[in-house]
């Protein structure tokens, strides 16, 4: 929870969130850029950290390196088998 509060205190501006040039400076110097990964990855991971354990069934979903959820497919499913045959 400390991480969330620190982001709000240090990076939140009226128009969104900004990168900080140095996290060690007492007064942050902003780079005036909200990186796309901040919303696409950082906030998703923070949500998942604090979400209930049943928020997403991890037997049915997996996350790629950019925090996008992808369904776990059953290889015995005919649709999956026909698509996979194109790659074999």
- Model confidence pLDDT, tens digit, residues 5-31: 988 888 899 888 999 998 888 888 999
Q: Do residues 71 and 60 touch, judged by C-beta distance below 8 A? A: yes
CB burial of 5-24 (b: ≥16 within 10 Å; e: otherwise) equals eebeeebeeeeebbeeeeee
- Model confidence pLDDT, tens digit, residues 25-80: 888 899 988 888 888 788 888 888 888 888 888 888 888 887 788 888 877 777 66
Around Cβ 57, how many Cβ atoms within 10 Å? 9
Round to whole Å and give the CA distance between 18 and 65: 22
pTM for the structure as a whole = 0.58
């Amino acid at each position: 929870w400390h991480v969330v509060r620190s982001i709000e205190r240090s990076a939140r501006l009226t128009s969104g969130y900004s990168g900080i040039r140095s996290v060690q400076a007492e007064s942050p110097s902003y780079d005036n850029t909200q990186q796309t990964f901040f919303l696409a990855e950082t906030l998703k991971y923070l949500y998942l950290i604090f979400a209930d354990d049943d928020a997403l069934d991890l037997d049915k979903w997996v996350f790629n390196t950019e925090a996008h959820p992808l369904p776990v497919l059953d290889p015995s499913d005919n649709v999956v088998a026909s698509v996979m045959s194109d790659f074999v």
